[in-house]
Structure 1
Amino acid sequence: MKKKKFNQIDYIVENLASSFSKIENFELLQESEEGRKLFDFIVKSIADMESFQSLFLNYYIPASNKSIADSWSQISSSKYKHLLNISKSDLKDNLYETIRLGYVGLFHKYESYLKALVDAVNFLLKELNEISDLLSIEKYCQREYGINIYKSHNHFAITCKVNYISNCIKHYDGLPVKEPIHERFAHFSKDEKIQIERDEFKSDIDRMKGHCELLLSQILAIGFKQFIESEIHGENENARVLKEKYDQILKNFEYTLSDFSNPRNYFTQ
């Protein structure tokens, strides 16, 4: 019997559906235009990141390695090899350049994801925000945490690292010299371009995928936190009951959003 071919999109949708089915009244969210838009956005974003990872790990990097092997074979078999002062490691810069460009692409993927995520959550909460006269995600983040949500990458370990590498590649010819220096490159030579191996690059893509999933929870938490705060505002009996009811939820939100309220510094002093 022929084995059924693995379908990445089926896997994504089924896992998302399984996760969301645990949310109370999720079927009502699915029926709304806002809910469908958010669900479609999540599927597209995950599939897009999976395709990016596959492109680099299964095609670009193997092609670079093959090019290195072919060049080394030519050098090794050349009748002039005694005149050439080239080692196999000297040929690896094509591989490192491919990976460096991968980091630039990875950060651009994240920037696009963040903007689309904020737009999708604002759309999801649009009616609720209008009824309760609430702020957009961007304005609430600015007021509550004093940050521009679109420039919040230094608040998270993986986005801080990827953005630093990307900036060094785009603006400093790949040299790890942008100030302040990221802790990952504190002991790197400032005269050599950033060199990162495939396994670390793969790990960073996986970490970015995980961060994007966490960020979805965080942006949703920001939206609902603002709504709950507006509901418990006041000194009447109803507000007091709601405060007691939502106290633990708000504490959970604060923990979830600690990256915004109490970010760690990822740079050397």
Structure 2
Amino acid sequence: MKNKNSIDSLIEYIKNVLSEIPNFKLVQTDPNASKLFNSIVAKYSDIQSFKTLYKMYYIPAANRAIIDTRKELKTSIYKKYIIITDDELKENYYETIRLGYVGLFHKIENFVKEMLVQANLILNIHKEEKDSIENYYKNNYKFTFNNWKEDPIIEKINWISNCEKHYDGFPLKEPNLLNLPKYEKIKKVHEDFYKDIDYVAEIFYKNKLLEIFMLSSFKMIKDYISENTPTDEIKQKSLIFELTVKDYIKSKRI
């Protein structure tokens, strides 16, 4: 049986996430929806291409370089004087992966920023005074959308990225999340790196998208209530929704 197209699966997921927003059509009919739709697909496609670049080009090239260097060392007329460990030979391979974590974390940051931009565009339709869900949740619930520590895998990706950028790959960023020796550079293998990319694309992106638009929907309801005379039914649903939001935010602080 043919596997389902991954982009089709993503689009169906997005449609379900956004279906709760009143009068919001995901594709074509609403320009803001169309912009959001294409932005999400572009970000998802980008991270898939990122994985392909590493899997098909960067990692194979790093491995070929190791093989070539080994051959050169074996045939060198000075080989009896050369003492190089296997880990030293593989440093370019490990560095390639560490740099991959830097790139991966930048993609995570950019995804969250872009989704917040798109959510705020929808939030501020027909509003004279522009608002942002970031400010609303920071001021009213002390909640931020870029608390990387709430997700252990994202925190790890951020940590490796910071170690590479600021400590030349040494695990000196405190706390030492992986309990690695401080005077040896981080050595991650490509299989683990690919798993982390898949986690970001298949789980984190989807969860963060759901979070942003769930909380954005609640903000829209609160705005509607403050600007109109809602029915008792709408007020009751708003209270129930607020309890859900509070429980969700509380769960992120555990």
Which bracket does the TM-score occupy, shorter chain normalised? Answer: 0.7 to 0.9
Mapped pair 1:222 → 2:218: no
* Cα displacement string for residues 153-180 of structure 1 (whole angstroms, at most 9, x for unaligned residues): 223223221111111111112111122x
Q: Could you tell me whether the CA contact under 8 Å between 2:163 and 2:173 is conserved in 1?
A: yes
Q: Secondary structure at the match of 1:178?
A: coil
* Cα displacement string for residues 164-198 of structure 1 (whole angstroms, at most 9, x for unaligned residues): 1111111112111122x143x2x211111111111
Distance (whole Å) between structure 2 residues aligned to residue 204 and residue 253 of structure 1 = 28
Aligned to 2:166: 171
Distance (whole Å) between structure 2 residues aligned to residue 55 and residue 263 of structure 1 = 36
Aligned to 2:12: 18
Q: Secondary structure at the match of 1:28?
A: coil
Aligned to 1:197: 189
Aligned residues: 247
* Cα displacement string for residues 197-251 of structure 1 (whole angstroms, at most 9, x for unaligned residues): 1111111111221211211110101111223345567xx9x55433443555444
Residue correspondence of structure 1 range 25-64 to structure 2 within 5 A: 28-30=25-27, 31-64=29-62
Distance (whole Å) between structure 1 residues aligned to residue 120 and residue 25 of structure 2 = 18
Give 1:14 deviation, angstroms: 2.4
Give 1:103 deviation, angstroms: 0.8
* Cα displacement string for residues 103-145 of structure 1 (whole angstroms, at most 9, x for unaligned residues): 11111111211111110111122226x28x7841111121133
Q: Give me the identity figure in percent.
A: 32
Distance (whole Å) between structure 1 residues aligned to residue 100 and residue 47 of structure 2 = 12
Distance (whole Å) between structure 2 residues aligned to residue 120 and residue 91 of structure 1 = 46
Residue correspondence of structure 1 range 83-162 to structure 2 within 5 A: 83-127=81-125, 130=127, 135-149=131-145, 151-162=146-157
Structure 2: segments with no counterpart, 5+ residues: none
Pairwise CA RMSD: 3.0
Q: Structure 2 length normalisation: TM-score?
A: 0.83
Give 1:258 deviation, angstroms: 4.7
Q: Could you tell me whether the CA contact under 8 Å between 1:104 and 1:166 is conserved in 2?
A: yes
Aligned to 1:3: none
Q: Could you tell me whether the CA contact under 8 Å between 1:218 and 1:257 is conserved in 2?
A: no
Runs of 4+, deviation exceeding 6 Å: 24-27
Give 1:64 deviation, angstroms: 0.3
Deviates more, 1:243-252 or 1:204-213: 243-252
Q: Could you tell me whether the CA contact under 8 Å between 2:119 and 2:212 is conserved in 1?
A: yes
